[in-house]
Structure 1
Amino acid sequence: MGLKTRATFEEALADAMRKYTGPNPNILALPRTFTTAAVHLCMKDPALNSAPVGGTPCGG
């Protein structure tokens, strides 16, 4: 798929719907990813996380 820069989120979403997802996209968009503090995304049930990461809410 690769990295494709777009001027706006709306433009990027339209491009993704046209090329990859179809009319019903299921996309996690984090537009402030590189401008704010890091976050850890993990499942409510720790057993469902792919790998525990020590020192984070996702495990250990």
Structure 2
Amino acid sequence: MAILLAKGHTSDQVANGLEIKKNRFRAHLRPTFVKMGVKQLSRLVTLGLTSLASAQ
């Protein structure tokens, strides 16, 4: 989910694509926030973009 956000999809688009409600989407992201040590979605997306760039 974080990668899809980093690729420019909105949280609504990702939730709809996964056929889940936005609240469920946020609940699934919470462990990722903790693991990555971030508190804001924008920071998580930045980390995802950095990860994608270094993988190429």
TM over 0.5: same fold? no
If the TM-score is normalised by the length of the shorter chain, which range does it land in? Answer: under 0.3
> What TM-score, normalized to structure 1?
0.26
> What TM-score, normalized to structure 2?
0.27
Structure having greater relative contact order (Cα 8 Å, sep ≥ 6):
2
Larger Rg: 1
